[in-house]
Amino acid sequence: MSLDLATVRRIAKLARIRVEEPQLPRLQAELNGILGWIEQLNEVNVEGVEPLTGGAQMALKLRADEVTDGGIAEQVLANAPDRAGDFYAVPKVVE
């Protein structure tokens, strides 16, 4: 499967990364180079194989559903690029 320019543009939009039009062809060539190399996986027979989702071969632990921390709004907001009181501030969304 080879990506056309419209698909590269759509992926960049989905990933929320601005890509200027003149950069698209080079990016398209790089992505197609990587995806072309990945095509080799089509020769592997995976019939009946259960997908492996995680790195740890163990059951995840359960824990009690309870609040264990909190009350640190200043720390949570300390790195915010913009804030208004105890809120993160973003460009206006609703007029």
Q: Which residues bind other proteins (CB under 8 A)?
A: 1, 3, 7-8, 11-12, 14-19, 27, 30-31, 33-35, 37-38, 40-42, 44, 46, 49-58, 60-61, 63, 72, 75-76, 78-82, 88, 90-93
Q: Which residues pair with 88 in a beta bridge?
A: 83
Taking the complex as a whole, the smallest distance from the CB of residue 12 to other proteins amounts, in Å, to 6
Taking the complex as a whole, the smallest distance from the CB of residue 78 to other proteins amounts, in Å, to 6
The Cα–Cα gap between 63 and 84 comes to: 35
The phi and psi torsions of 87 (rounded to 5 degrees) equal -125, 150
